[in-house]
Structure 1
Amino acid sequence: MDTSSNCHTSFWILDTSLPSFEPLKEDIQVDIGIVGGGITGITTAYLLAKEGFSIALLEADALAKGTTGHTTAKITSQHDLIYDELLHHVGKEKAQQYYKANEEALNFMKEIVKSKGIDCDFSEEDTYIYANSDNGLTKLEKEKRAYERLHIDGGTASLPIDIPFKDALRMNSQAQFHPLKYAAYLVEELVEMGVKIFENTPAIDVIEKKQPEIVTKEKHTITCDYVLSTSHFPFYDGMGLYFSRMYAERSYIVGVTTEKPVQRGMYLSADEPKRSLRTADMNGTPLLLIGGESHKTGQSHHTAKHFEALREFGDTHFTLQKSLFQWGAQDLITMDKIPYIGRLTANHPNIFVATGYRKWGMTNGTAAALLITNLITEQQSPYIDVFSPSRFYADPSIKHFLSQNANVASEFVKGKIKLPYKQLEDLETNEGALVYYENQKAGGYKDANGDTYAVDTTCTHLRCEVTWNDGEQSWDCPCHGSRFSPTGEVLEGPADEPLQRFK
């Protein structure tokens, strides 16, 4: 087995590049300002531009480079073992609405790919959840009964893939695709419709007025009738306290070639540790994407082991030839596992948010675009209440809120009392660690050129202490999921200021 690759970049990003756009350099005024250039922001801009609105789309980095570019690119309503849980927590009607909203998103994507002839490696595939343990089989049986109650198209099935299983649950007629090829088509359409697109333009605040103003890091403003926050973590909170109502998880993916052929399809284990499998194509070469190994961000310090565990799984069942790609993904999970899509709070009639897709951003993100478009154009939608950011279900929201914030408090204390064990000059190449620097605690890093850097390890969001992620070479906050580069630049919110760098 060749595991020589140490690539930390999604092969979606390597395989396809989108057009590049200049940063915003002046104050502008439009009907709608959208912050976040992933699948939700791009799709929402496309739908609203078709309705005749003038739009500015802002992205802090490059379009689709974040979560959209680091997905496994499944387009499915089979969101793990979710429907039995939804039946118990939110009831049959809202569970059905969740399923139907995601099916409508899937069908929207199918239709636009077909009608526009988008070359994005789109293929319809069934999806499967399989189980081997007694606990997994019990969960699978409950999920099967939920499918029957909710009239979900699927049921018990045999796996068409050569992997051990005792039972499996199939959802019919789902899909997979190349996310950046799909996004590239929509971006071309945005340009044709006159949408103003700005990359490398972080938005940091909203000035609330009758016509709110989006404020960028460079202090330019976008005056608009509606503000849409479709960035991974909401760039503006508006006292919605989103950082306390969601938590961040890291998961990992490897792209490998195998000696044993793998039957097309999408497969997910019901048992722990989770394993997600799907096939892809790279310039005619069959590729197997293996995902899993989830943990709360900042709470697994030796993340390189997660990539190795995925490769070992692939080698055991399919005999690996070569490991070509590896990357990590960050997912935000709400208290009840349903995304927040709608008005930022009840007091914000013209500021909207879409976040918390868990690991299912392709359908949830497209469902968000469809729902927000309906809200702005004042069309009826049956999905407003189920996704409303202002909703509250006593079970499980209270339990998860208390559990999550107890975990935050624990991590806050642990970070404050943890002491360094190295000096800055003792670091190896590409190593990061807590170090003593000028008689104080710091985050030290030595790059490939031998240059060393020291940063303050106190997260700029709410003062927790970041930890070193050795598999992805970043400083990660275990409290609310902010992530920073080795030299302190923000990679993921909710933090919007870099770590202080010591001279």
Structure 2
Amino acid sequence: MSKKIPQHPESYWRDSTNAITSKQLEKDIKADVGIVGGGITGITAAYLLSKKGKKVVLLDAGPLFNGTTGHTTAKITAQHGIVYDSFIQQLGVEKAEQYYKANKQAMEFIKETIDQEGIDCEYTVDDAYIYTDSDKKIQKLEQEKEAYDKLGIIGELLDEIPLNIPIKKALKMENQAHFHPLKYLNHLVQIIQQNGGEIYENTTAIDVEYSDHQHIITRNGHRVVCDHVIVASHFPFIDGEGFYFTRMYPSRSYLMAFEPEKSFPGGMYINAGQPSRTIRYVNIDGKDALLVGGEKHKTGQGKPEIEHYEAIEKFAQDTFGIKNYLYRWSAQDLTTLDKVPYIGPITSDQPELLLATGYRKWGMTNGTAAALLLTDFILGEKNPYAEVFDPSRFHAQPDIKKFAEINADVAKHLLKGKLEFTGKSIEDLKEDEGQIIRIKGKRTGAYKDEQGKVHLVDTTCTHLGCEVNWNSGDRTWDCPCHGSRFSVKGEVIEGPAQKPLTKYN
């Protein structure tokens, strides 16, 4: 253990899991269902469908669990911030209730699956709290409690919480949970393979074509021929003329794991204001540890990312004291126009092409709910929650306003990146540092590694041509328009971009 913040980001979930590995797809193959994306949605759907006798093939562009699922807080809860009051206002009571019940069903499914399959994944029941120390947020919590009452959600308004921090009001939701997500999913992978399902890693899907069947096309030119396709690749790798890149925005948040000096009373906590804070317990190597995170911001925008880690460190030190630093990592999430995920046919006239995206940092339950819904869709069974998640929905007033806001922000950063001039040069770079420089007038991303080697890339994002910015916290090049992220060598880390940045000598 270390008294210093880890220099490089690494997820505890990934570091503590011996994930089952799979080979790359090297031939054409047939299946009943082709699934793209090896996170909680893709793996849960593959598990469900394989148990129903469906031949399933799952593809992932990298190793399994390397996306948002491997970098989550892993809370299993239907308390998704202050949302139910706004859902009632925008969607109506019926659809707000559908959202809650779908996530409650997902929670119950996870617990039942753990029990039935005998999965050791550190599942722990805990209460969830939204708290505030701001007079301005008290009314918001009171309105949220009224929404709970309308929807039949059991909740309690409190003046005190077990955590010893200043608060003025809190909203409690009992009997929520948290777990080790990759130990859970790793077990499901074994069952999928036992049921005849096939999983291929490091296999990037780039398109879907339709003739007599759906054809998933990989970067290497191979095909998965199937009746249905599930696109569970976080950001949809295929748009299908649904224009999802204009109807969602990406944001990043940060987590630190550490051994605290003070004892922790239990519970899962998020605050009602900004900067965001999230707190939960975890056992690491037999010792009590905490995950403390937050600092949500739009991808590729704002202050240097390392400062978000530093802000979380200060909050953790002031609140709990830090005995030892263990891990730090970050995650990227997508938010839709109305904050409800898109789950269902990618467009209304393509019922065999299904997607799930836009979980807004609550992927453990939303992602599981998506797998249950899409499984029902493929099996021809009615799902009571399909309407609220329909990807083709559009709510006039709030959606138009948010749509305009998202795309105005994209246009602003597209122009800003093209005109930016930093005045920096390669000579200004320190080891393990990245900068935007100009080489012969061309905007170039430069990173000097710890051995002194400089890596140069064209900073124009290969998605729609925005200019990427340096991420000092995770040492990546991030697009401020649609959230594509690239390594220091230009490789795609996450989409919607499919092609790497051009490398320069």
> Which contiguous aligned blocks of 4+ residues in structure 1 show a shift greater than 4 angstroms?
none
Whole-Å separation in 1 of the counterparts to 2:488 and 2:473:
12
Does residue 50 (structure 1) correspond to residue 60 (structure 2)? The answer is no
Cα drift, residue 439 of structure 1: 4.4
- What is aligned with 1:119? 120
1:460 aligns with 2:462: yes
Deviates more, 1:329-338 or 1:432-441: 432-441
Aligned match of 1:340 = 342
Name the residue aligned to 1:367.
Answer: 369
How far has the Cα of 1:10 moved from its partner?
0.8
2:308 aligned partner: 306
CA distance in 2, matches of 1:54, 1:299: 43
Displacement of 1:271 in angstroms is 1.9
Deviation at residue 301 of structure 1 after TM alignment: 4.4
How many angstroms does 1:395 deviate by? 3.0
Counterpart of 1:403 (choices 399, 402, 405) is 405
Aligned match of 1:415: 417
CA distance in 1, matches of 2:267, 2:201: 35
Deviates more, 1:230-239 or 1:424-433: 424-433
- 1:7–1:426 Cα change, 3 Å: closer
What is the match of residue 42 of structure 2? 41
Q: Is the 8 A contact 2:217 2:224 kept in 1?
A: yes
Query: Quick one: which of 263, 266, 276 aligns to 1:274?
Result: 276
Equivalence map 1:185-200=2 (5 Å): 185-200=187-202
- AA in 2 matched with 1:27: D
Q: Which moved more, 1:32-41 or 1:313-322?
A: 313-322
Look up the match of 2:108.
107
Q: Which runs of 5+ in 2 are unaligned?
A: none
Which position in structure 2 is the counterpart of 1:380? 382
The code of the aligned residue for 2:261 comes to E
Q: Give the distance between the partners of 1:272 and 1:427, measured in 2 at CA.
A: 33
* Post-superposition offset of 1:437: 2.4
Asked if residue 247 in structure 1 is aligned to residue 285 in structure 2, the reply is: no
- Determine the structure 2 residue equivalent to 1:492: 494
* Same amino acid, percent of matched pairs: 50
Which position in structure 2 is the counterpart of 1:291? 293
C-alpha distance in structure 2 between counterparts of 1:118 and 1:448, whole Å? 41
Deviation string 1:121-172 (CA, Å, 9 cap, x unpaired) is 0011110001111111111111011111111022213311111111111111
1:481 to 480, 483, 496: 483
Quick check: 1:301–1:468 contact (8 Å CA) kept in 2?
no
Aligned-partner residue type, residue 131 of structure 1: T
Q: Residue in 2 aligned with 1:355?
A: 357
CA distance in 1, matches of 2:45, 2:200: 16
CA contact (8 A) 1:301 1:470 kept: no
- Residue pairs, 1:82-97, within 5 angstroms: 82-97=83-98
Moved more, 456-465 or 159-168: 159-168
Is 2:24 aligned against 1:23?
Answer: yes
Give SS of 2:393's match: coil
RMSD: 1.1
CA distance in 2, matches of 1:295, 1:250: 6
Q: Between Structure 1 and Structure 2, how many residues are aligned?
A: 503
- Given that residues 71 and 331 in structure 2 are in contact (C-alpha distance below 8 angstroms), is that contact kept between their aligned partners in structure 1? yes
Cα distance in 1 for residues equivalent to 2:427 and 2:155: 59
- Once the two structures are superposed, what CA deviation does each residue of 1:215-246 show, in whole Å capped at 9, x if it has no partner? 00111111100011011111111111000000
Matches within 5 A, 1:432-451: 432-451=434-453
Moved more, 2-11 or 448-457: 2-11
Normalising to structure 2: TM-score of the pair?
0.98
Opposite residue 12 of structure 2, the aligned amino acid is F
Counterpart of 2:75 in structure 1 is 74
Quote the offset at 1:373 in angstroms. Answer: 0.6
Unaligned 5+ residue runs, structure 1?
Answer: none
* CA distance in structure 2 between the aligned counterparts of 1:55 and 1:99, rounded to whole angstroms: 29
- Kept in 2, the 8 Å contact 1:424–1:437? The answer is no
Does the aligned pair in 1 maintain the 2:8–2:474 contact within 8 Å? no
Give the counterpart letter for 2:136 in structure 1: N
**What is the alpha-carbon distance in structure 1 between the residues aligned to residue 166 and residue 212 of structure 2?**
59
Aligned to 2:263: 261
